[in-house]
Structure formats: structure tokens, C-alpha cells
Amino acid sequence: MTMSAPALDTVDLGDPATFAEHDLDGFWRTLRDTAPLHFNPPVAGRPGFWVLSRHEDILTVYRDDEHFTSERGNVLVTLLEGGDAGAGRMLAVTDGHRHHELRKILQRVLSPRVLDEVARTVRLNTRRWIREAVESGGCDFAERIAARIPMTTISSLLGVPERDREYLLSLTRTALSADDEDIDEVDSEMARNEILMYFMDLVEERRESPGEDVVSMLIASSIDGVPLSDEDVVLNCYSLVIGGDETSRLTMIDCVRTLAARPEQWRRLKHGEVAVGTAVDEVLRWASPTMHFGRSVTRETELHGVRLRPGEVVTLWHASGNRDERVFDRPGVFDLGRTPNRHLAFGYGPHFCVGSYLAKVEIAELLTALRDFTTGFEQAGEARRIRSNFLTGFSTLPVRFEPDLAGLRLSVLKEDG
């Protein structure tokens, strides 16, 4: 499906349909060049908000916690409703000292050293699932592989039983994005509440019977001598499962779709002409699954000659910043060898994504398994785009694989050995 390019004054970035129905590349380029601080006007009772599109401006606001706060929400859905119920307790919408202390707790369990064993499991699972898909000739990559890798990983970390993972996956999909127009904001709100209730039950179980998982570790943690409350633990589990599943899953789907359409880039990866780590960063820049984050103005300040007043909402658009010609050479070209690559996929500054290492491991193992087990692949049907004003990507991706027989044989020999 070819999407149309909308006129500048008709674009409403608060409407999920805008992203499902239009190609916004030209819109973002125009904003970066002529209106780097743009106002998205109020629509149908929804408040207006400021839009930043340049990479440098986005970094400036991420760094500045004196004039901008996360504690009134960090995505449009909560910012425009006037606040986030998790403010001051969930890492993503907490600032200052408490944010620093909470971040230290989560970094302990998400550090590369602690995650070594998790990374090994990610590798084994990814290689098994890709090999099975290649041997069967093809699959819906989104459903069969991309849905399984991140959810299996984050569920294992949180101690979510295998029987509940499919249920949790369906809730995370509805919470932030939808496959069709039938799912509205009420459905999304209910899904978010169900995730919270699920983790409330899990916290009760772990208080009675602690394990080695992240939930048990959070229960045992304290800030300034005060243990984390059940609500603190639940909200941060919610944040981890949403962040750990949605963004990685959508990035993987976009990665395979993009490589299928660009065989010359696939060949560079296949023949070892580009390092997997370098390729991972370009995959993240290109997909930019989290289109924006947002802040509220706390103290009057100025950007591009415009006075920003307390209470106003400022949105930072990774979707545009990751294509900024001022930072990236030929930003509209997917180049697996791109370096340096100062992409914004994980945010920046104090709120830089705590799960970034794990996400990179997952994407790296996907690329490595594809390189080892297939000589190439193609999209075998239409990919269905999700509807969201926060996330971008596809919920389906039929793919046909060409097996690399030598690579598959070598894999079997290693396992037998």
C-alpha cells in the first residue's frame, strides 16, 4: 500500500490514523528545515502540544531536567490527559533523586554481567526458532519469531510462567497499539489495567515465595531505607514488560522487512562485510519503533525564539531526529555499515533506556541466526501496519526463506557434538 504525503497544516500527530495512512518523511523534513518548534493545535477537545523534530533539540530537552519533567507523563496518551498514575514511582515517569535510586536498582538486574545467562538463552532460542522457520520454508515472522523472542526473555527475567506469556503478549499489543480500528482507547486502558492486576497477583505470590527473578529482587529493594511498595514493584514490572516486548518486537519485524527489500544490504551482512554490532545500530535507527517521548514544561524557557510556559507539553520525535540530515549522512539510506550512528532509539540522558543492552543482544542474535541459516528471504504477502501515535511498525509479516544448507548442517553437527 502506498501512503500519501499530507499537507503540513492538516497533520495531527495525536491521531493514530495519521501514521497508519500517511508517509510523513516529507512532513518531518519540512519541519526540520522551516519549523523546528512546531505547534500541533488542539483537536476535538484534545489539547495542543509542541513538536521538536531536530536531533540536537531533542538532545537538549532530554538533558534539561531543570525546565522539563517526565512526572506528568512521557507519551502523548498520558500527557494530554493531564498526568500519569505512575508518576514518582515508575522509573520512566520519575525524576530527581528517586529516579536516580530506582535506576540504580534496575541497572543491577539489567547489567551485562547479570544478563550473561539470559543472553545465552536468547541465543539458543533465537537460533532454534529461526532454524525451524527456515527449514519449513517460511512463516509469519511477526507471529512465529518476533513475538516470541522479547516476550520469552522479559517473562523469564520477571518470572512469568510460560502458560501466561501469550496472554501477556496480547495485552501489551492492545495497551499501546492496535492492528485495526476496532480497538479504541477504552480497550487500551483496560489492557493496561489488566497488566497491572496481573503483576499485583505475581507480587503477592513472590512475597510469600521469593525466587531468583526481577520481581523478587524489586520486592527486596529499598530507597533511602524505605522498601518499595507493592505498587512501586507492579508499576516498574509494567514498564519493563511494555518496554522489553513492544520495541524489540517491532524493531525485529522492521529489520526483516527492510532487509528483504534491500538484498544488497543483506549480502553485506551475509558475507561478513559489516559487523553485526554496527548493523544492529542501523536497524534501530531505521525502525525507530518508539516515535516520540514527551515532557512537560516546569519553568518558563525559550526554544527557537518561542517562550514555553509551565504546563505546556513538548514532544520529542525520534521518528524525525533519526532522519536528521544535520547529523546523519544520507539519512534516507539504510546502511548497515553506518558509523558513527548517534541514533535516538533508546532516548538520551538520565532516562536512557535501562534495557538497551538486552534489546541489542536480541537484535544481534536475530541477525546472526539469519546470516547463518538462510541465503536470503523475501516478503511473501502484505504486512499489516499497527495503529498508534506512539509506536510504529507492523503486526504481521509473511516471509519466505531460502535455506543455507551448509549453515543448517553445521548447526546440527554442533548441537550433536
HEC-encoded secondary structure of the chain? CCCECCCHHHCCCCCHHHHHHECCHHHHHHHHHHCCEEEECCECCECCEEEECCHHHHHHHHHCCCCEECECECCHHHHCCCCCCCCCCCHHHCCHHHHHHHHHHHHHHCCCCCCHHHHHHHHHHHHHHHHHHHHCCEEEHHHHHHCCHHHHHHHHHHCCCHHHHHHHHHHHHHHHCECCCCCCHHHHHHHHHHHHHHHHHHHHHHHHCCCCCHHHHHHCCEECCEECCHHHHHHHHHHHHHHHHHHHHHHHHHHHHHHHHCHHHHHHHHCCCCCHHHHHHHHHHHHCCECEEEEEECCCEEECCEEECCCCEEEEEHHHHCCCCCCCCCCCCCCCCCCCCCCCCCCCHHHCCCCHHHHHHHHHHHHHHHHHHEEEEEECCCCCECECCCECCECCCEEEEEECHHHHHHHHHHHHC
CATH topology of domain 8-38+48-416: Cytochrome p450 (1.10.630)
Residue 173: the pLDDT is: 75
> In this predicted model, what pLDDT tens digit does every residue of 287-306 receive, in sequence order?
999 999 999 999 999 999 99
Q: Residues 121-131: pLDDT tens digits? A: 999 999 999 99
pLDDT band at 2 (very low <50, low <70, confident <90, very high): very low
Answer left, alpha or beta for residue 400, where phi above 0 means left and psi between -120 and 50 means alpha. Answer: beta
Per-residue model confidence as pLDDT tens digits over 326-367: 999 999 999 999 999 999 999 999 999 999 999 999 999 999
Residues 130-141 have a mean pLDDT of 97
Most confident of 71-85, 163-177, 233-247, 367-381: 367-381
pLDDT > 60? residue 4: no
* Mean of per-residue pLDDT scores for the chain: 92
**pLDDT tens for each residue of 91-108:** 999 999 999 999 999 998
* Residue 81 pLDDT exceeds 90: no
Q: What is the reported pLDDT for 1?
A: 46
Whether 42 has a pLDDT exceeding 80, the answer reads: yes
Q: What pTM was computed for the model?
A: 0.92
pLDDT at 191 over 70: yes
pLDDT score recorded for residue 362: 96
Percent of the chain with pLDDT over 70: 94
Whose CA is closest to 93, among 79, 81, 107? Answer: 79
pLDDT (0 to 100) of residue 413? 64
pLDDT at 183: 58
Q: Residue 132 pLDDT more than 80?
A: yes
| Cβ atoms of residues 219 and 199 within 8 Å | no
Per-residue pLDDT of 387-408, as tens digits, reads: 899 999 999 999 999 999 999 9
Q: Residue 32 is which amino acid?
A: R
Task: Judge whether residue 88 has pLDDT over 50.
Answer: yes
Query: Which amino acid is residue 216, in one-letter code?
Result: S
pLDDT at residue 180 is higher than 80: no
308 vs 116 pLDDT, higher one: 308
